[in-house]
Amino acid sequence: MKFLHLLSSEASQSITFHCLGDQSYKTKDKFSSSASMQREDSKPRFIGWNKHTSNTLLEPHLIQDECKIQDGSWHQSHFFFLTQDSRQLPITDIQEFSSSLLNHRQHLETGPVCFL
C-alpha cells in the first residue's frame, strides 16, 4: 500500500449504503419520532488509511442521500471520496452510522480505490 501511496498524486473511492426502513416509524409515537430525528441527524464518520476522519481532512461528496426515506423500500446513499493526499484512502472504518431503528436493515458496498 505504501508503494501505491508514494506513486500516486490523488485517489478516489466510492461507498454506498443500502438501507431498508420501515414506514411504521413515521407514526406520532414518541419513541418513533425521536428515533427518526436521530436517524436524520446522524452522519457517518469515515476513517481513512492514515487514520484521519471525515470530520478533519477526509470529506466525502454526498452524491445521493435517500436513506432517510422511511417508506418500506430499499434506498441508497452514495458517498464519493476524491483526495490529493492518496494516503487518506482506502476507507478503513465507518463510525456513527445510526442503526438504532428497529426493523431498519442496511448493508454497505465499498468500491475500489483508484490511485492516479
Domain spans of the chain, in order of start: 2-20+42-106
Is 27 exposed, middle or buried, given 0-12, 13-18 or 19+ CB atoms closer than 10 A? Answer: exposed
Most confident option among 13-27, 65-79, 91-105: 65-79
DSSP 3-state assignment of 72? coil
CATH number of 2-20+42-106: 2.60.120.1000
> Does residue 62 contact residue 116 with C-beta atoms inside 8 Å?
no
pTM of the predicted model as reported, rounded to 2 decimal places: 0.76
Place of cell 493526499: 85
Most confident option among 20-34, 47-61, 65-79, 93-107: 65-79
pLDDT band at 113, cuts 50/70/90? very high
